[in-house]
Structure 1
Amino acid sequence: MERIQEALAKARAQRQQGNATQKKEVARPHNANPNTDAWEHLAPFKLNRAALKRNRVVAADSGPEAAPYDLMRTKIIHQCQINDWRRIAIVSPDAGAGKTTTLGNLAFSFERQRDMRILCIDLDLRRPALHTLLAQKPDHSMAEVLEGHVPFSQHGLRLGSRVALGLNNEPARNPSELLLSRVARDSLAAIEQEYAPDLTFFDISPLNGSDDNIAFLQNVDCAVIIAAAESTTMTRIDQAERQVAELTNVMGIALNKCRYIGDADEYQYY
C-alpha cells in the first residue's frame, strides 16, 4: 500500500507542476434546518439481514467487520468539514472494484453517526446495483425522479432516521443526456433544498464504462476512487485520478478487496 501511495504522490506532484487551475465550487443549495416531517414521511427501509450478509454489507451493526467503513466515514466527515464539501461521488476505474458495496456499507455506517443526515443516491443509471445489494425493490427509478415524473417523497427510502436512499428498479434510457440536463440538476437541487442533508453521496458509473461520469462529476464537490487490490493496476489508478481531477476534487483512493494486512491493521479492535 505504501508503494501505491508513493507512486501516486509522485505522479500527482508532476501533474500539479503543470496545472495550477483551481477547482470551481459547485453551486448547490443548503438549508441548515432539515425538514423533519419530510424525512419521517419517507417509506422505511426493509431490512433483510440475510441478504445483506450475502452481499457483503457488513456495516449494518457496529463491530470489527464494520470498523474499516466507520474509519472511512470519519475520514470523509473530516475532509468535508475542512473543505466545505457536501456532494461526494463514489467511482471506480473499472467495473467490479466494489464502489456500490462501499457505498452500501457507508450508508449503514453513517446511520449510526449521530447529528448528521445523509442522502445516498444511485446514479449508475446504466447498470444500477445498489437496490440489489441492499435487497430492496423500489417501484420507481431515480431517472423518473430526475425527469420530474415522480417526487422523491414518493420514491426515497429512509434507513433509520438519518439516511435517505434513492435507488433504481431498472436501467435508464439515455443516461448521459439525462445527467447533463438542467432538469436533472434542478431536481437534485430541489431534493437537497427540501431534505437539507449534511452530505450527499452518489454512486456513479465506472470511469471506463461510459461518459456518464464526465457528465456528472462536474456537479459534485469531490470524489472517492475505489480500486480493487490485485485487479486495478497502478496505471488505471493513476489514469482515474487524473480523469477525476480534471472535473472535481479527488478526496482519496480506497483500496478494496485487499487480502493482506499489515501489523497496523491487526491492532486489536476495541
Structure 2
Amino acid sequence: MERIQEALAKARAQRQQGSTTRTQHAATPGPSQPVEESWAALAPFKLNRAALKRNRVVASEPGRDAAPYDLLRTKIIHQAQTNGWRRVAIVSPDMGAGKSTTLANLAFSFERQRDMRVMCIDLDLRRPALHKVLAQKPDHSMAELLDGHLRFSEHGLRLGERVGFGLNNGPASNPSELLLSRAAREALDGIEQDYSPDLTFFDISPLNASDDNIAFLQNVDCAVIIAAAESTPMSRIDQAERQVAELTNVMGIVLNKCRYVSDAEGYDYY
C-alpha cells in the first residue's frame, strides 16, 4: 500500500508536465507521409474466426452477441467527443475481469464504425494477453517500441481500414520504469502524429497487480474500469474508482461476465 501511495503522489506531480508535453506534440508538424498511406502500410490482421469465437470475441461479426459492445462503443464515442478525450485506458481492479477481452470486442465493433480510426495498444507489459485473445503471434513487443528500438510501422497490425493494434510477444523486464520514461511518451506521441487516430485505447495492468498502471494513467485522458460480475467486490470497485480519479477522468465502469441479461439486450429491427 505504501508503494502505491508513493506512486500516486509521483504520478500526480508528473501529470501536469505530461499534459503539457502532449499539447506541445499536438502542435508539431504532421507526419512525413499521408495518414492514409501510413495506415495502408501496416501489416494486415490475420483473422481466425474459430479462435476468436473460442476466446469470446463475439463482436467479430455483427449481430445479437455484438450488440452490447456496439452500445458500449457508442457511449464511449459520445463521452469522448463531448469532453475532447482521445486517450482511453482500459483497466480493472483485479486480474481476471476480462479487460483484454472487452478491448478485443470493442476493436471489432469500432471497425464497423466507418468514420473513425482507432488504435488498440497493449501496455499490460507484465502479463500481456491481448495478442492471445486475438489469436495473433507478433514478432515483437511494445516494449521494443517504447524504448526506441522499433517503429510502429514495423510492428503494428491493421484490422480492416480503421483499427490498428500494438501487441506483445511476451512480458517486459522493466515495465514501470519503461512506462514512466520520456522515450515511451515520445513513442506514443509519434504514433498519434503518424496515424492520427480518433481514439487510442490502452490495455493496462490491473490496479492491484503493480504500480505500472499508476505510472501510466497520468498519460491518458480517461479510463474505463472493467469489473467482473459476482467476482469483483463493490469495495474493490470503489477503491479502483478513487485511485483512477486521482490521476485521470473516470469515463465509466463496465460490469463484465454477467450471466443474466434482459430480453431487450441485443434487440434490433431485423
Offset at residue 233 of structure 1 (A) = 0.5
**Counterpart for residue 98 of structure 2:** 98
The separation in 2 between residues aligned to 1:252 and 1:194, in whole angstroms, is 29
Percent identity (aligned): 76
Matches within 5 A, 1:18-57: 26-27=19-20, 28=22, 29-30=25-26, 35-57=35-57
The separation in 1 between residues aligned to 2:266 and 2:165, in whole angstroms, is 33
The separation in 1 between residues aligned to 2:197 and 2:243, in whole angstroms, is 28
**Counterpart for residue 174 of structure 2:** 174
The separation in 1 between residues aligned to 2:219 and 2:34, in whole angstroms, is 22
The separation in 1 between residues aligned to 2:192 and 2:223, in whole angstroms, is 18
Offset at residue 253 of structure 1 (A) = 0.2
Letter of the 1:83 counterpart: N
Q: Is the 8 A contact 2:94 2:208 kept in 1?
A: yes
Offset at residue 262 of structure 1 (A) = 3.7
Q: Residue 213 of structure 1 aligns to a residue in which SS?
A: helix
The separation in 2 between residues aligned to 1:257 and 1:95, in whole angstroms, is 13
Letter of the 2:149 counterpart: H
CA RMSD of aligned residues (A): 1.8
Stretch of structure 1 that moved more, 254-263 or 50-59: 254-263
May I ask how many residue pairs the two structures share in their alignment? Answer: 248
Q: Residue 207 of structure 1 aligns to a residue in which SS?
A: coil
Letter of the 2:222 counterpart: C
Letter of the 1:26 counterpart: S
Offset at residue 26 of structure 1 (A) = 3.3
The separation in 1 between residues aligned to 2:38 and 2:200, in whole angstroms, is 16
Letter of the 1:99 counterpart: K
Q: Is the 8 A contact 1:26 1:221 kept in 2?
A: no
The separation in 2 between residues aligned to 1:45 and 1:37, in whole angstroms, is 17
Specify every segment of 5 or more residues in structure 2 that has no aligned partner in the other structure, as ranges. Answer: 1-14
Q: Residue 132 of structure 1 aligns to a residue in which SS?
A: helix
Letter of the 1:44 counterpart: P
CA separation of 1:204 and 1:269: change in aligned 2, threshold 3 A: farther
The separation in 1 between residues aligned to 2:41 and 2:96, in whole angstroms, is 35
Offset at residue 154 of structure 1 (A) = 0.3
Q: Normalised by the size of structure 2, how large is the TM-score? A: 0.88
Specify every segment of 5 or more residues in structure 1 that has no aligned partner in the other structure, as ranges. Answer: 1-22
Q: Does 1:144 align with 2:144?
A: yes
Letter of the 2:101 counterpart: T
The separation in 2 between residues aligned to 1:225 and 1:65, in whole angstroms, is 21
CA deviations 1:160-208 (Å, max 9, x no partner) are 0000100000100110000000110011001110100000000000000
Q: Normalised by the size of structure 1, how large is the TM-score? A: 0.88
The separation in 1 between residues aligned to 2:37 and 2:233, in whole angstroms, is 47
